[in-house]
Amino acid sequence: MRNDGLWILVGALSVLIGGGTVFYHLVEGWSWVDSFFFTVVTLSTVGYGSLVPQTVIGKLATTVFIFAGLGVFAAVIRQVSNMTLEGRMRARAELRAARRKTAEAEKRLLAVEEKGPDA
């Protein structure tokens, strides 16, 4: 399947988001919603700054989390972009082939009209 790579990356991203949510809930003592929010905001590089890790382990883990998460997040975006581009290129190629077949059929039709069906 062509989408296997995407599903693997989405799975890795889900594990990162889930793991980050659990980590910040346990280590920083944040609510589940705040932990999830911080995880997604950090991974997406938005970084509102409304939540900031206070513990040393939280700060160190966030640094590692950012580098790991950015790689996976960027890979997901790249994979989706590649799939979209491939789909568009495939559609263009099919359209070109259909136009070519139509032009050939029109030429045959004109030849039949000019010379008759037995030509």
User: What are the residue boundaries of the structural domains of the chain, listed by start?
Assistant: 4-92
Determine the Cα–Cα distance for residues 55 and 96; give it in Å rounded to an integer. 60
pLDDT tens track, the chain, 119 positions: 467 788 888 898 899 999 999 999 999 999 999 999 999 998 887 777 788 899 999 999 999 989 888 888 888 888 889 889 998 999 999 999 999 999 999 988 888 888 876 65
Task: Out of 1.10.10.60, 3.30.70.1710, 1.10.287.70, 3.40.190.170, select the CATH number for domain 4-92.
Answer: 1.10.287.70
| Predicted TM-score of the model (pTM) | 0.65
- The radius of gyration of the chain from alpha carbons, rounded to an integer in Å, stands at 27
Residue 68 token pair = 């790991």
The pLDDT score that the predictor gives to residue 119 is 55
Residue among 44, 46, 45, 20 nearest 32 (CA): 20
Alpha carbons 10 and 109: distance in angstroms, whole number: 52
